[in-house]
Structure 1
Amino acid sequence: MDNRTRFVLYARKSSEREDRQIQSIDDQINYWQKRAKEEGIEIVKIYTEEKSAKTPGRRIEFYTMCDDLEKWHIDGVLCWKLDRLSRNPVDTGTIQYMLQRGKLKCIITSDRVYYPEDSWLIFSVETGMANQYILDLSKNSKRGLQSKLERWHFPGMAVQWYLNDRINRTIISDPERFDMVKKMWEMLLSGCYSPQKILETATYKWGYLSLKRKKTGGKPLALCTLYDIFRNPFYAGYMRYNGQLKKWDHPPMITWEEFQKAQKLFWHTKWESDLKTERPSTLEFSYTWIIVCGECGCMVTAEKKTKILQITKKEKSYTYYHCTHKKNSPIFQCLQKWGVPEWAIESQIKEILESIEIHPEFFDWAKGVLQRRHGEETQGRESIFESINKAIENEEKKKN
């Protein structure tokens, strides 16, 4: 080779299956640096990338290299194999057109050299084989996933709070976090806690950390992740696949009815998902969601009035409930225009409760349900306690 030849080096390795046997980027660079020294090649710039080449428009370094080749006087490109440059017809055409116009004098791979005067049929066949490999791999992967589904083998990594059973090829619950997260669902379904409040409780009171994996996990949940989890039907025993819901055999965390209730809460409740925006303070009243107007059937709302007593000069607050008049129209007008004080409503509720007699069988059944829920609550608190202790131990290890 002429000592004045100037080349750029493009080294790429994808993390996807087609590149498992390809040498690492460092190995590719070391190979070409050693060979360039032996053959008198000057490597002007090295471009490295860890992205798949099957889809055009995704590789920033590749397109930067193409722009540099148009502007600079470069003799050629060094790469491990031709499929390192491209695995799709769009990028292949870009490289092939540069070679055809003489912008590149040659492309050197580890086993051969491509010149502008060579047969374009050979170049097209080799790049076409790389593209066809991707297409076949995609078909085989989809066929494999469908086959797994038909055999009830879970086709991927388990979602948060579940684990992959590699022996039976199915999904099992995470014994360390399952009960704790079930408590999060219960808080959501109660309608009294927003996802942000649930996240704060889990992070700062329970010390929750996600499952530690090789490269990810071991950290508190993000709010956007918690929103995605609460919208995922997987926790109700269903899995989304190809736009359809499929009933799965993993242990569900909640029932399908509870999942639908959670989605209604998301639809009707104005929870603020943006942490940077503070919502205005709102008042909570005891009976606004359980009382309707006896005349028109609309929900009842409440107002809090504050009055300064003339004798003591102290403030005293009163709460009044009244109809929202949502159904008022030119045809119908609700006549309930005056508010009812809270003490009057509580007096009526007390009279109703005192008139109710509990049947002994129902009492025994309710007592059993409460005992069972108490046991589940105790188990959940034990799980939270273990998580907190583990977090403390990890912090002590870091300090030591």
Structure 2
Amino acid sequence: MKEQPLPPGAPVAAYLRDSGGEEQELSLAQQETEIRAWCEARGLALTRIFRDEARPGSSVVGREGFQQMMRHFRSGEAPEKALIIWKYSRFSRDIDDAQFYRADLRRRGVRVISLHDQIPEGPAGRLYEAALDWMNQQFLIDLSTDVKRGLRHIVAQYGCVPGTPPRGFKRVPVVIGKRRDGSKHICHRWEPDPDLVPLIRRAFEMRAAGTPISQIHAKLHLYRTLNAYTTFFRNPIYVGILKYGGETYEGYCEPIVAPQTWRTVQKIMEDNAERFGRRHPRRVNSPFLLSGIAYCGQCGAPLYGHVTTRPGKGRDEAYRCTRAKRKAGCDAPRIPRHILEKAVLEALIRHILTPENLAQIQQTHRAAAQRRQAERQAQARALRKRQSALRKRITNITAAIAQAGPLPSLLTELKELETEKAVIEAQLQELQRPQPEPRELTPEEITQISERLIHYIQTADKETQRRLLRGLIAKITVTREGDHIEGVIQYYTPLAQPPPPFPPTPRGPDPAAPAPSGLLPIHFSPVGAQPTTFNTRRHPMLTTTAGCRWFIMHLRLKAWHGPTAKAPLPLCPGRLLRWESTVE
């Protein structure tokens, strides 16, 4: 059905966004200029403009302008019947967010019009939009993959690490070559800061002697708050080990802390975590299943369980945003515990853990693994071709040097070619590394996994349910607007034999015990990244299910859920699960 053009004088709103950076300093102004000119040419009244400056399109979290726009249209009082955007990529680069929020706006009678994406009329337009959404997200995936590959190479070859170094280290510039414009390519290593090394050693020695963190902070003042010390004492860089991008680099720098002191501090930290953290009676007996994995959809801060007793109404249990509690820039309202937990458990049982969804995920993963392998082979072919050309040039220059002597220009070019050849050889070695391939499960095995996990969720006690949810769910993002609650579940997918029954002891699995036999190794594979083997004992989200090992996939499906649910949408592997509910 062809949409009628907007009548002259019709009020419309606009949404502007840029990702930041020097090259986008004028992006918002340029978008606004084009949108205003477009509206004036058609006699439309641009009544509202929502802006997000220097905000990525990979998520709507932290995009205050976007959140204001959605609240404006959801209020039911917005006079605008169209939202004008410069391109769909400005709206969102996440395929799920783009489709979800566009559908939300259209259900409210709001058209989404892009100035630079020519969308055909009718049902074919939705297919074209889906293709654009895929292209926009694929851009982020490819960009992330290329950046991570380049950073891993720089760390491995030169020891240079981006970002702010840990306390006790300083950034030391290293020239790693030349850029295309001839300028020096400078990166930075992390090296111990002689001025701070004595303080770092003193802090570890005090902690090894049993001194509380509060006293260490009062004496040394290494950080502004006490919360930073836990990460500080667990960072292995203080014994010369760098962990970056899923890789471990032994001997990265000279150790600041003696190995025995380090081991003593780690033992103290583990004992305290067991005593006051994971096994704290208040946490074990807490009625809140989602503490630690539920986050605020407005600001991204964790949600915590809040209990109050209201006169005449009894005990009231709800999840609240930690930033809203501190009044630190978030006004997210409370979310009733029973509604949120019921929606999450039903989403697991009805959608995520069904044999059909698990089979679709396995099929999607197999196709993704084949695609990654083909891409690696294509990259290797291109690198070999370049390597062959470099060898010929190096041979020719060597012959020229032998004939004409060591001219400075020839020596400089030879050095640059040798450097490029070494880089290519390192990249080829990385591409030729064997990639782990999990065994494909049969339909019977998938059904058995599904039935066992659903049985645990339906029959287990609170503590077992809590441990199981932490093993299945990476993150839940929840937003409440009035009586309307919506959420996104990012979850892990089990690709192993059915897990063994949970042990009867409340302490759970022994961290030192070997993993159950017949289970596949762990692989962590963010979209577009290469799999990396993890140790279950070191991954906090994977130690909660009696030693079971999981394949983490950012695969997503989409569905409606809740007391006011509409007809379910088709389950689509490769998406986050969303639900919608209403506060009763």
Q: What's the TM-score bracket when you normalise by the shorter of the two chains?
A: 0.5 to 0.7
Shift of 1:124: 3.6
Q: State whether structure 2 residue 8 is matched by structure 1 residue 11.
A: no
Would you say 1:202 and 2:220 are equivalent positions?
A: yes
Q: Is the 8 A contact 1:234 1:240 kept in 2?
A: yes
- Change beyond 3 A, Cα 1:172–1:53: same
2:73 corresponds, among 58, 69, 72, to: 69
User: How far apart, CA to CA, are the structure 1 residues paired with 2:96 and 2:224?
Assistant: 40
User: Could you tell me whether the CA contact under 8 Å between 2:55 and 2:63 is conserved in 1?
Assistant: yes
Secondary structure, aligned partner of 1:27: helix
Deviation at 1:107, TM superposition (A): 1.0
Describe the shift of the 1:269–1:43 C-alpha distance in structure 2 as closer, same or farther (beyond 3 A): same
Cα distance in 2 for residues equivalent to 1:97 and 1:272: 48
1:106 touches 1:114 (CA, 8 Å); kept in 2?
Answer: no
Match of 1:131 among 129, 137, 154: 137
| In 1: Cα distance, 2:259 partner to 2:67 partner | 48
TM-aligned CA distance change 1:27 to 1:256, over 3 Å: farther
1:214-249: per-residue Cα shift (whole Å, max 9, x none)?
xxxxxx531111221011111111123455643142
Q: Taking structure 1 as reference, are residues 7 and 156 closer, same or farther at Cα in structure 2, changes over 3 Å only? A: same
Please tell me the residue identity of whatever aligns with 1:6: P
Deviations 1:310-341 (A, max 9, x none): xxxxxxxxxxxxxxxxxxxxxxxxxxxxxxxx
CA deviation map 1:353-397 (0-9, x unaligned): xxxxxxxxxxxxxxxxxxxxxxxxxxxxxxxxxxxxxxxxxxxxx
Q: 2:260 aligns with which of 249, 257, 266?
A: 257
CA distance 1:127–1:34, shift in 2 (3 Å): same
Quick one: structure 1 residues 68 and 258, their matched pair in 2 at CA, closer, same or farther if it must change by over 3 Å? same
Give 1:54's aligned residue.
58
| 2:196 counterpart (177, 191, 216) | 177
1:163 matched to 2:167: no
CA-based RMSD: 3.7
Corresponding letter in the other structure for 2:143: L
Mapped pair 1:43 → 2:46: yes
- Residue 149 of structure 2 corresponds to residue 150 of structure 1: no
Q: Distance in 2 between matches of 1:271 and 1:179?
A: 30
Partner Cα separation in structure 2 for residue 96 and residue 116 of structure 1: 16
TM-score (normalizing by structure 1):
0.53
> Residue 137 of structure 1 aligns to a residue in which SS?
helix
- Asked if 2 retains the 8 angstrom alpha-carbon contact of 1:237 and 1:247, the reply is yes
Give the letter for the 2:159 counterpart: H
- Secondary structure at 2:51's aligned position in 1? strand
Structure 1 unaligned residues grouped into runs of 5+: 209-219, 275-400
Match of 1:144, SS state, is helix
Structure 1 residues 33 and 89, CA gap change in structure 2 (3 angstroms): closer
Classify 1:34/1:67 alpha carbon distance in 2 versus 1 (closer, same or farther; 3 Å).
closer
Q: How many residues align?
A: 254
- SS of the residue aligned with 1:164? strand
1:66-145 alignment to 2 at 5 Å? 66=70, 68-69=72-73, 71=76, 72-94=78-100, 97=103, 103-109=109-115, 111=116, 116-117=121-122, 119-120=124-125, 121-145=127-151
- 1:34 and 1:106 map into 2 onto residues whose CA distance is 16
Q: Which piece of structure 1 moves more, 139-148 or 59-68? A: 59-68
Distance 1:273-1:225 versus aligned 2 partners, 3 A rule: farther
Look at both structures and tell me which one has the larger radius of gyration over its CA atoms: 1
Q: 1:254-293 CA distances to partner (integer Å, 9 max, x unpaired)?
A: 123221111123344699999xxxxxxxxxxxxxxxxxxx
Is the 1:224–1:273 Cα contact (8 Å) retained in structure 2?
no
Q: What corresponds to 2:385 in structure 1?
A: none
Pick one of 21, 24, 40 that aligns with 2:23.
Answer: 21
Instruction: State the AA in 2 paired with 1:231.
Output: R
Flag the 1:13–1:174 CA change in 2: closer, same or farther, 3 A: farther
Q: 1:65-119 CA deviation, whole Å, 9 max, x = no partner?
A: 345435334232222332010112212223554687693345143x466575595
TM-score, length of structure 2 as denominator length:
0.38
Residue 256 to residue 7, structure 1, CA distance change in 2 (3 Å): farther
Tell me the distance in 2 between the aligned counterparts of 1:55 and 1:106.
19
Deviates more, 1:26-35 or 1:85-94: 26-35
| Residue 151 of structure 1, CA deviation | 1.0
Going from structure 1 to structure 2, the CA distance change for 1:202 and 1:21 (only over 3 Å counts) comes to same
Partner of 2:525: none
